[in-house]
Amino acid sequence: MRAARLHKVVPVLALPAIAALMVRARVPTVPIAISTLAIFVVGALGMKLNVQTDRALDQRSKPNLHAARAADPTLWRKLIWIEGIAYAALVLWLATWSLQGAAFLVLVGALSILYSFNFLAPRHAELWRLKVFWWGNALSIGGAYFAIWLLGFHLGGVDLLAYDHRAWLGAGAAFTCFDYAVFLNECALDAEDEREHMPQTLNALVGQRGVALVSIAVWMLGSVIALSVCVARDMEAVVQVSLLSSAGLSVAACLSFLSRHAEPEVPGALRRLRERWIDRYFVTERAVLLVVVVIARWGMTHG
C-alpha cells in the first residue's frame, strides 16, 4: 500500500464533488461516489505502474518503492489487473447514469495510465511513457485534471456540449492551470535523477529554479483564463470566489517553491512552516475550496 503512494491520490478525490457543488447545491450523490471511487482505483493503478516503470529513477532516492514491488511481484501484477477490471466496471456503471460523464472518466483513466505506461505503444510502453517528455507530462497530468473538473461540472448539471455553457470549460482550464503549476514544482524535486534517466523532462531541461519560473507562467495563464470566466455573463458567483481562492493559494505555493531554490537556508520556524505548507498544499487547497463552496452555496440559498 505504501508503494502505491495513495496520499498523492487522495486530494484529487474531492474534485468531482467540489466541481458539482459549484454548479448547484443538490448534487447526485451516486454518480459522484462512483466517479470518486473510480478515480481512486485508477490513481492507485497508475501509481503502481509508475513505481514499476521508474525503477532506475527511484533506485537511489526511493529504493523502498522498488523493494515493495520486488517482494511479491505476483501479488503486484494481480493487484494491477484487479484495479484495472474494477475501474472498467465503475466506468460502465457510471455510463448507466451518463454517457458523457463516463467519457470524461475514461479520459481521466487513459491519461493517468499513459503518464506511466504507454499502452498505445506496447513494445515501447515504458520507454515512451508520457512523463519522460515535457509535453507528455503537461498533456497527461494537465489533461487528467481538466477532465476531472469537467466531469464534476457535468455531474452538477452543466451540458458542456452547449455553446452557452462554454465559460465552464474556461473555469476547468483555469483550475487546471492552478493545480498543474504546483504539480510542476513537486515534479522538480526529482530533477537530479531525471537529468540522468529522463533528459527530455522539463526538470532535466531547465532545472528546479527554471521549473519554478515556468510554474509562475502557467499560473499567469490560469489567471488570464480565470479573469475571462469571472467577467462572463451568468457565471455563478461561487465559481468566481473559488477561482480567486485557488489562484491565491496556487501562487503562494509556487512562490514558496521559488523561495526554496533562491534561499534554501531560511532559518528556523519560517523554513519549517514553508516546508509543511508545500508538503500539504493539495490537501489544504481542497479543504479551503470545499469550505468556500459550501459557505457560498449556503449564502446564496439563505441570502
pLDDT greater at residue 182 or residue 69:
182
All cell numbers assigned to 23? 454548479
Q: Which is higher by pLDDT, 63 or 160?
A: 160
pLDDT tens, position by position, 270-300: 778 878 888 889 999 999 999 999 998 887 7
Residue range 86-96: mean pLDDT, rounded: 97
pLDDT band at 209; cut points 50, 70, 90: confident
What CA–CA distance (Å, rounded) separates 69 from 51?
8
Look at 188 and 170; give whichever has higher pLDDT.
170
| Residue appearing with cell numbers 455531474 | 155
Q: Buried (b) or exposed (e) across 100-128, using 16+ Cβ within 10 A?
A: bbbbbbbbbbbbbbbbbbbeeeeeebbee
Helices (H) and strands (E) in the chain, counts: 14, 0
Per-residue pLDDT band at 3 (split at 50, 70, 90) = very low
Residue 140 sits at the vertex; the CA angle it makes with 138 and 146, to the nearest 5 degrees, is 85
pLDDT number for residue 43: 93
3-state secondary structure of 152: helix
Instruction: Kindly tell me if the per-residue pLDDT of 267 is higher than 70.
Output: no
Reference 93, options 149, 23, 41; nearest CA is 41
What pLDDT is attached to residue 5? 56
More confident residue, 248 or 303: 248
Instruction: Tell me what the mean pLDDT of segment 18-34 comes to.
Output: 92
Per the structure block, which three cell numbers stand in for 227? 479573469
Higher per-residue confidence, 52 vs 29: 29
CATH of domain 1-159: 1.10.357
Residue whose C-alpha cell reads 529504493 in the numeric block:
63
Sequence-distant (6+) residues with CB within 8 A of 46 are 112, 113, 115, 116
For residue range 104-120, list pLDDT tens digits in order.
Answer: 999 999 999 999 999 99
**Annotated domain spans of the chain:** 1-159, 162-303
Q: With bands split at pLDDT 50, 70 and 90, how would you rate the model's confidence at 265?
A: low
Other C-beta atoms lying within 10 Å of the C-beta of residue 238: 21
- pLDDT of 216 > 80? The answer is yes
- Summarised one tens digit per residue, pLDDT across range 36-62 is 999 999 999 998 888 888 766 655 556
Average pLDDT, the chain: 87
The rounded percent of the chain whose pLDDT value lies above 90 is: 55
The DSSP line for 175-187 is HHHHHHHHHHHHH
Is 1 a residue whose pLDDT tops 80?
no
Residue burial 153-183, b: 16+ Cβ < 10 Å; e: rest: bbbbebeeeeeebebbbbbbbbbbbbbbbbb
User: What is d(CA 103, CA 121) in angstroms, rounded to the nearest whole number?
Assistant: 22
Instruction: Give every CB contact of residue 231 below 8 A, 6+ residues apart in sequence.
Output: none
Query: What pLDDT, on the 0 to 100 scale, is given for residue 198?
Result: 78
Instruction: Specify whether the CB–CB gap between 84 and 44 falls below 8 A.
Output: no
Check: CB of residue 190 under 8 Å from CB of residue 54. Answer: no
pLDDT at 300: 72
Q: What is the pTM of this model?
A: 0.91
Cα 80 from Cα 74, distance rounded (Å): 10
- For residues 60-69, average pLDDT: 60
Which tens digit of pLDDT belongs to each residue from 177-206?
A: 999 999 999 887 766 666 667 778 888 888
Mean pLDDT over residues 202-217, rounded? 89
